[in-house]
Every structure is written in C-alpha cells, then in structure tokens.
Amino acid sequence: MTPGVGDQATATWPADTQIARSTGRPALLIFLHPACPCSRASVQELARLLTHIGLSVDTTAVFVRPEGFSAGWEKTDLWTSAASLSGVVAMVDPAGQEARRFGAATSGYTALYDPAGRLVFRGGITAARGHEGDNSGKTAILEWFEHGRVSGTETPVFGCGLFDE
C-alpha cells in the first residue's frame, strides 16, 4: 500500500524528448516497468480511461528497459496489453532516458499535458498496488477532458521502481 517516491513531472513538455506529440492535441503518457505485476492494473485503468476520452489525446506507453538488459526484454505481456489498446503507441525507453526527462520514477506514473504542452496532471491511475477500480487519478484526467479543469493535479503512484532490475 506504499506509493512510489521520486515522481516529479516537468511543468512543460521537455524540448529534448524523443516522444512524439501532435501540435494542438493533449498528450497522455504512462511510464511502465515491463516486469511490474502492479502495473497490470494501471494498464487496465488506462483502457477504461480511453473508453471515455477516445482518440482525442496522443497516448504513449513508455516501457523502461533498465541498463544491461538486451533489446526485446521489455516486450512482456504488459507491453502486449498496452500496445493493443486503441490509439496507444508503445515505445522502448532504453536506460530510462525519457522517464528521467519527464520525472517518472515509479511504474504506472501517468502525466497529462494540454495542447500547449503544459502539465495538467501527474500521478497514478490506481488507488493501490494492483488495484483496479475508481480512483482519484483517473477521475482527475476525466474531469479535465469533460470540464477543462481538474480538482486534484497530483496523486500517489503505486508500482515498482522504474529503474529496478
């Protein structure tokens, strides 16, 4: 039940990122450790979230491959689940370079940026480790898409460390 620590998203979209973002569209990022069992719930919550917001957002699932692991190691069933979601682009993040750029430290860390590249929300989209169901992170993101504002801009993230082997 203990959340991860060290997640600190940048207030604006990093200029040096390799993650694609369409001009004029919001961007939703979820950072995942391919071997984190807790993150299955995060991917399921992402799927539920996307049924409400659809293709109105650029969604990227960023899979961290820790240093020393060979190419392809990250292609687990979690990758398959995330990549199969409509509108989601799955990408490999060798050595966690993108995770560090965006301030992500815990698997399941999610960040929403508005069309201008400003951070709107950061945190987890589950209420506990491996727990699916209603949670304040998913509610905040839905609130932004429905009303253009959020009542809470940050929630705890429940998952494994992104840089753990």
Per-residue pLDDT reduced to its tens digit, 105-139: 999 999 999 999 999 999 999 987 777 788 989 99
The residue written with tokens 């480790």 in the block is 129
Examine residue 71 and state whether it is found in any structural domain, yes or no: yes
Examine residue 3 and state whether it is found in any structural domain, yes or no: no
Examine residue 77 and state whether it is found in any structural domain, yes or no: yes
Q: How much is the pLDDT for 23?
A: 85
**Is the pLDDT higher at 163 or at 112?**
112
- The domain in which residue 74 lies consists of 27-147
Q: How much is the pLDDT for 15?
A: 93
Examine residue 128 and state whether it is found in any structural domain, yes or no: yes
Beta strands in the chain (DSSP E): 27-32, 58-65, 88-94, 109-113, 119-123
pLDDT greater than 90 at residue 151 = no
Q: How much is the pLDDT for 1?
A: 63
pLDDT greater than 90 at residue 162 = yes
The mean pLDDT of 44-50, rounded to a whole number, is: 96
Examine residue 8 and state whether it is found in any structural domain, yes or no: no
Contact by Cβ (8 Å): 52, 150: no
CA 90 to chain centre: 11
The mean pLDDT of 73-79, rounded to a whole number, is: 94
Instruction: Please state, for a pLDDT cut of 90, what percent of the chain lies above it.
Output: 71
Phi, psi at residue 160, to the nearest 5°? -80, 160
Mean pLDDT for all residues in the chain: 91
pLDDT greater than 90 at residue 82 = yes
Examine residue 152 and state whether it is found in any structural domain, yes or no: no
Examine residue 113 and state whether it is found in any structural domain, yes or no: yes
**What CATH number should be reported for the domain holding residue 53?**
3.40.30.10
**Total domain count for the chain?**
1
Examine residue 163 and state whether it is found in any structural domain, yes or no: no
